[in-house]
Amino acid sequence: MTVYAIIGGTGLTQLEGLTISAALNVDTPYGAPSAPLLRGDYAGREVLFVARHGHPHRIPPHQVNYRANLWALKHSGAEAILAVNAVGGIHPAMGTGHFCVPDQVIDYTSGREHTYFAGELDHVTHVDFSYPYDARLRELLIAALAAEGCAYSGQGVYGCTQGPRLETVAEIVRMERDGCDIVGMTGMPEAVLARELELPYASLSLVVNPAAGKASGVITMAEIERALGDGMDQVKAVLARVLAA
């Protein structure tokens, strides 16, 4: 039976309902993960959980040690990754509270450690990243969202920005022109590192605010926190359905 790992983002620094059997402090060649890996039972399945931003939420997106997180999960037995991401909505369908299971990504980040294939290498390695998200995991997430009666889109382009600041209106105009449907700060290099480790990976993205210029007024943290509070119960229910399936 597949051992799933859940990567919790903003709003999901701990997984309520997880019966913890061990907290693993994994030493990796890339430094320490964001937080101890939690091994336990969730929805009747063995899972691994890591809080991407640490617990408490303290690591900004551009300083997350993505390489350590993914390496630690792989070497602790993870066989597939379900990533939870809080995002802004660019496409008109992506209103606050809407879910997206992206099928493509555009990487606008810079300066992040984005590959395991660096340094003194025996040979150059390229991975195919044409389709960055695992098709089967996406199907499971889509089926779970439908069963839970959530508002969702079964595809979309995730635009990943550097952060920690939010985007300008002009940047969102550019991203919309590029074809982005949602915008977040943590989708990359996480997805490509999973591919390099041959870990199936998919994202459950929750829209927590309209992107810059997509609503009147400025974006407030209070608005985002309300959306996170409202959406996390649905996130947990969707994850439980995927695991039960």
The residues pairing with 204 across neighbouring beta strands, listed in sequence order, are 84
Q: Is 200 annotated as a binding residue?
A: no
- The per-residue pLDDT for range 19-70, each reduced to its tens digit, is 778 888 999 999 999 999 999 888 888 899 999 998 877 899 999 999 999 9
Write down the CATH number for the domain with range 4-117+129-244: 3.40.50.1580
Q: Is 211 annotated as a binding residue?
A: yes
Q: Is 53 annotated as a binding residue?
A: yes
Q: Is 52 annotated as a binding residue?
A: yes
- 239 φ/ψ angles, rounded to the nearest 5 degrees: -60, -40
Q: Is 114 annotated as a binding residue?
A: no
Residue whose C-alpha is closest to residue 60's, from 72, 71, 52? 52
CA 69 to chain centre: 12
Residue 61 corresponds to which tokens in the numbers above? 């997106």
Q: Is 55 annotated as a binding residue?
A: no
pTM for this model (two decimals): 0.93
- The per-residue pLDDT for range 93-152, each reduced to its tens digit, is 999 999 999 999 999 999 999 999 887 767 778 899 999 999 999 999 999 999 999 999
Q: Is 96 annotated as a binding residue?
A: no
- The per-residue pLDDT for range 153-198, each reduced to its tens digit, is 999 999 999 999 999 999 999 999 999 999 999 999 999 999 999 9
Cβ 69 vs Cβ 5: under 8 Å: no
